[in-house]
């Protein structure tokens, strides 16, 4: 690996930006799907907040365990151990299929959980139909995540972005046909979006497997070679590195889920306002996660190649890139809140006046929280390159469950600041979490800079 600063900048940009684009394309599927559901009525828009928060929470809890694939593959790839890359990929795919089983079970009982948590039955009925349809694509979601993480670890992110771009077009077409009913197909309504997600995932898997089989660059890895996997060494390693990430993302998203439930207690307007800002936030947050993943992969390549002196610059450059991207997102939130809201509701309708006022305030708070959260996530991603995942886990869980959840309840419910109080508490939690993880990153850089 060339360790000059210009080359590191080039490597980070070449890895991070296509990954960010790929994540953005993936998020566009959910964004567009929710836009279509929003056209079905105000109740379904409010229900979509429950769908999104529940789906993201459950899926990411399990898929985040597979994020370890990119750094484990990255270290093997950086050390030029190509046969090991093939073994890691195979065992990672087996792990993914195992994870799909509890995912399906949770989707089947999601509606009962929401009812037990006090959500409105007239909203939960839509959620029930949505998740019953989503189970058909569940094995595809986790298997696709494993394949994509392996490609990221090999710095083959362009394959992922091209496949995602093609499959996005297929999703939009299939979702439109299924949700509203066209081409002789009856309107499926709420269930049309999850069916389209399934079509998108399985098509994407076929494309990636085709690339693995026919492209010469993957031949040395023996991806389709039969192996006995008697000791399951890498499956165990993936689990050992991945479970803290699973706990971190799962714990944080469970906190987000609990916050969504408490916002649901406040009424439809608060829930719908939170959904509008949350969907826009997701659209920008996911590319930031891609930068964090890219940082971890670059660090893992450096560690695998024993280029320890370059890890500090990789982290610094990645943070700069992330701050540029997040600044653009924050400016959009501050400058165009009404336009963003108009994608979901009729901003000129009198019945939405209070909701528009809430949305404008929430976008101001989101601009701050996304900045703090991006710093935290990129530093956490860099730590993964060292296989250091536990500190970020505890920092994230502490910030969300000690500050965000109780602070949100205190400000939002006890002191009657509503959804605004919840967002203030979350922004402060992200700030504390960012400071802790950045401190840990500096300590690890000092430690590795002393190695030969």
Asked if residues 164 and 22 have their Cβ atoms less than 8 Å apart, the reply is yes
State the pTM of this model: 0.73
Asked if residues 303 and 52 have their Cβ atoms less than 8 Å apart, the reply is no
Query: Which tokens belong to 12?
Result: 């980070």
How does 429-439 read in b/e, with b if 16+ C-beta sit within 10 Å? bbbbbbebbbe
Per-range mean pLDDT, top range of 225-229, 388-392, 401-405 = 401-405
Q: Which of 106, 138, 129, 119 is nearest to 50 (CA)?
A: 119
What is the number of domains present in the chain?
A: 1
Asked if residues 53 and 271 have their Cβ atoms less than 8 Å apart, the reply is no
Task: Please identify which residue in the block is written with the tokens 């979901």.
Answer: 344
Per-range mean pLDDT, top range of 3-12, 87-96, 122-131 = 87-96
23 HSE (CA, 13 A, CB side): 21
Query: Which tokens belong to 131?
Result: 């998740």
Q: In whole angstroms, how far apart are CA 193 and each of 48, 162, 280?
A: 11, 22, 18
Q: Residue 344: is its pLDDT beyond 60?
A: yes
Q: Which of 440, 429, 426 is nearest to 392 (CA)?
A: 440
Proportion of the chain above pLDDT 90, given as a percent: 15
Dump pLDDT digits (tens) for 18-66.
Answer: 777 777 777 778 778 777 877 777 777 777 777 877 787 788 788 888 8
Q: Which of 197, 212, 217, 158 is nearest to 22 (CA)?
A: 158
Domain range spanning residue 253? Answer: 5-449
Mean pLDDT in residue range 213-223: 84
Q: In whole angstroms, how far apart are CA 271 and each of 89, 266, 278, 427?
A: 41, 7, 10, 18
Mean pLDDT in residue range 272-300: 78
Q: Give pLDDT, residue 36.
A: 82
Mean pLDDT in residue range 223-251: 79
Q: Give pLDDT, residue 170.
A: 92
Q: Give pLDDT, residue 3.
A: 58
Q: Which of 118, 134, 155, 117 is nearest to 51 (CA)?
A: 134
Q: Give pLDDT, residue 306.
A: 67
For residue 350, what is the enclosing H or E element?
A: none
Q: Which long-range contacts (CB under 8 A, 24 or more apart) does 164-169 make?
A: 164/22, 164/25, 164/26, 164/204, 165/25, 166/207, 167/200, 167/203, 167/204, 167/207, 168/25, 168/26, 168/28, 168/29, 168/200
Q: Give pLDDT, residue 201.
A: 92
Dump pLDDT digits (tens) for 308-318.
Answer: 677 788 888 88
Query: Which tokens belong to 54?
Result: 């529940």
Distance CA 58, CA 102 (A): 10
Q: Give pLDDT, residue 308.
A: 66
Local confidence band at 104 (pLDDT 50, 70, 90 cut-offs): very high
- Across the chain, what does the average pLDDT equal? 82
DSSP string of 15-66, one letter each residue:
HHHHHHHHHHHHHHHHHHHHHHHHTT-HHHHHHHHHHHHHHHHHHHHHHGGG
Dump pLDDT digits (tens) for 138-180.
Answer: 999 999 999 998 898 887 878 888 898 899 999 989 888 887 8
Mean pLDDT in residue range 335-364: 80
């Amino acid at each position: 690996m060339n360790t000059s600063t210009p080359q590191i900048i080039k490597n980070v940009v070449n890895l991070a930006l296509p990954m960010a684009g790929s994540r953005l394309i993936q998020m566009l599927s959910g964004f567009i799907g929710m836009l279509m559901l929003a056209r079905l009525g105000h109740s379904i828009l409010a229900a979509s907040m429950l769908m999104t928060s529940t789906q993201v929470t459950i899926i990411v809890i399990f898929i985040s365990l597979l994020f370890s694939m990119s750094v484990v593959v990255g270290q093997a790839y950086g050390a030029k151990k190509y046969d090991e890359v093939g073994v890691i990929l195979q065992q990672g795919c087996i792990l993914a299929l195992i994870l799909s089983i509890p995912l399906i079970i949770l989707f089947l009982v999601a509606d009962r959980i929401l009812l037990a948590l006090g959500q409105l039955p007239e909203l939960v009925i839509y959620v029930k139909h949505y998740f019953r349809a989503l189970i058909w694509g569940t094995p595809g979601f986790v298997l696709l995540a494993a394949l994509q993480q392996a490609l990221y670890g090999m710095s083959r992110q362009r394959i992922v972005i091209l496949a995602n771009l093609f499959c996005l077009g297929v999703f939009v077409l299939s979702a439109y046909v299924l949700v509203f009913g066209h081409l002789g197909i009856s309107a499926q309504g709420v269930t049309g979006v999850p069916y389209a997600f399934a079509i998108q995932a399985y098509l994407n898997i076929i494309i990636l497997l085709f690339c693995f089989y026919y492209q010469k660059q993957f031949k040395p890895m023996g991806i389709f070679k039969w192996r006995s996997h008697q000791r399951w060494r890498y499956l165990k390693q993936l689990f050992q590195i991945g479970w803290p990430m699973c706990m971190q993302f799962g714990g944080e998203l469970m906190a987000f889920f609990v916050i969504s439930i408490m916002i649901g207690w406040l009424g439809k307007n608060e829930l719908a306002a939170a959904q509008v800002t949350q969907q826009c936030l997701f659209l920008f947050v996911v590319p930031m996660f891609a930068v964090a993943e890219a940082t971890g992969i670059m660090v893992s390549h450096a560690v695998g190649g024993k280029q320890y002196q370059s890890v500090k610059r990789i982290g610094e450059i990645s943070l700069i890139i992330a701050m540029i991207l997040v600044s653009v997102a924050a400016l959009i939130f501050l400058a165009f809140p009404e336009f963003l809201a108009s994608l979901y509701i009729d901003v000129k309708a009198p019945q939405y006046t209070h909701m528009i006022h809430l949305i404008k305030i929430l976008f101001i708070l989101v601009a701050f929280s996304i900045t703090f959260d991006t710093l935290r996530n990129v530093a956490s991603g860099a730590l993964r390159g060292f296989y250091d995942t536990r500190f970020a886990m505890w920092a994230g869980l502490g910030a969300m469950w000690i500050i965000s959840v109780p602070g949100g309840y205190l400000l939002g419910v006890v002191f009657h600041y509503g959804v605004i109080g919840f967002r203030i508490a979350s922004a402060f939690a992200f700030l504390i979490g960012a400071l802790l993880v950045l401190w840990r990153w500096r300590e690890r850089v000092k430690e590795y800079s002393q190695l030969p």
